[in-house]
Amino acid sequence: MHPVSPHLRRQRRAAFTLIELLVVIAIIAILIGLLLPAVQKVREAAARMKCQNNLKQLGIGLHSYHDAYGTFPAGVSPGGATGIGWTSFILPHIEQAAIGQIMNPAVGGYVTGVNRTAGGNRIAMYLCPSYDQERSNSTIDNMPDGTTFAFTTHYYGNAGPKGTNLTTGTAYTLNDPTASQGGLAADGVLPFHAAASATNPTTPTGVRITGITDGTSGTLMLFEESWKGLETGGSLRSWVRGCSWSGDCTAMKNVTNAMNTVRYNGGGNYNDISMGSNHTGGCNVATADGSVRFLSSSLDLNRVLLPLASRAGGEVIANY
């Protein structure tokens, strides 16, 4: 037998055995398993921060509109039909003037024409990155030729609370208690109509800052509506849409349900869809002073959320 040279011995010792290879693979898999949750947390933290920034910019846009016109945007309902919403009126104030200039308040929000066509534009500021559903799931919002779908919005105006003011013992105001889809709340910062009547549904009055007597820092102006489950059942509509007299309201919602609990049922609750988000533990909101904060999903509906949604109810709000 010929002796094995030292050179060959060194070559053989340098090779991995199958067991060693499997151990290395197992260690890598364990490290990936440990790192993945951390990566996901960082990703969600970035998405949540982006979402907060969107709300901040929208709040600035609404205040810029108020500076220009003396009130926050009021809803319009041309001929009683669904008009365009605050999301359309503030476009020139959020660096979207080119789209804002073509919007026509005298035309319905999804009637074939300029407003409906505008819905084919993706407005990044209206979309929360924690929720990947960007399309409206209402086909009547899509372009008539069927080649372009309409984009939605994940941020909604506070139309006002619906229920009972626990401080005064009286019911919060509804513009039209008999309206379909849950009625049109009126005590918020962005109601459909601050002083509506059935005989005058197309001349709304916007809310002024001076009318927010509960304090701008303690009154909701905008909130998220972007939680898992809204992508089915028609909850999402085009960002162009506002409200209709005695009917549906897209850009603004009543505050009447706890977070992440009620979506559109295809019947009469469209205006009452819950605020909420895919963020863990609650959702972001913008208050009437333009600041942004995170509200916990555990907050009491009647003692905290409804009072926060009221602009002049004089409620005593529990700690939050």
Residue 288 domain-assigned (yes or no)? yes
Residue 93 domain-assigned (yes or no)? yes
- Closest by CA to 181, choosing from 257, 255, 270, 244, is 270
Residue 301 domain-assigned (yes or no)? yes
Residue 206 CA from chain centroid, whole number? 21
Q: How many CA atoms lie within 13 A of 227 on its CB side?
A: 22
pLDDT of residue 3: 56
Residue 34 domain-assigned (yes or no)? no
Residue 258 domain-assigned (yes or no)? yes
Ramachandran class of 79: left when φ > 0, alpha when ψ lies in -120 to 50, beta otherwise = left
Split into its structural domains, the chain has a count of: 1
pLDDT of residue 42: 62
pLDDT of residue 199: 63
Cα separation, 281 vs 134, whole angstroms: 22
pLDDT of residue 245: 83
Cα separation, 116 vs 136, whole angstroms: 12
Residue 29 domain-assigned (yes or no)? no
**Virtual CA dihedral for 252, 258, 264, 266, nearest 10 degrees?**
-120
pLDDT of residue 27: 82
Residue 184 domain-assigned (yes or no)? yes
251 is in which domain, residue-wise?
40-309
Residue 251 domain-assigned (yes or no)? yes
Q: pLDDT tens string for the chain (320 positions)? A: 455 555 545 555 566 687 777 788 888 888 777 766 655 666 777 888 899 999 999 999 999 999 999 999 988 888 888 999 999 999 999 999 999 999 999 888 888 889 999 999 999 999 999 998 999 988 889 988 777 899 999 999 999 999 999 999 999 988 876 778 998 899 999 998 766 666 666 667 899 999 999 999 999 999 999 999 998 888 999 999 999 888 899 999 999 999 999 999 988 899 999 999 999 999 999 999 999 999 999 999 999 999 999 999 999 887 77
Residue 186 DSSP label: -
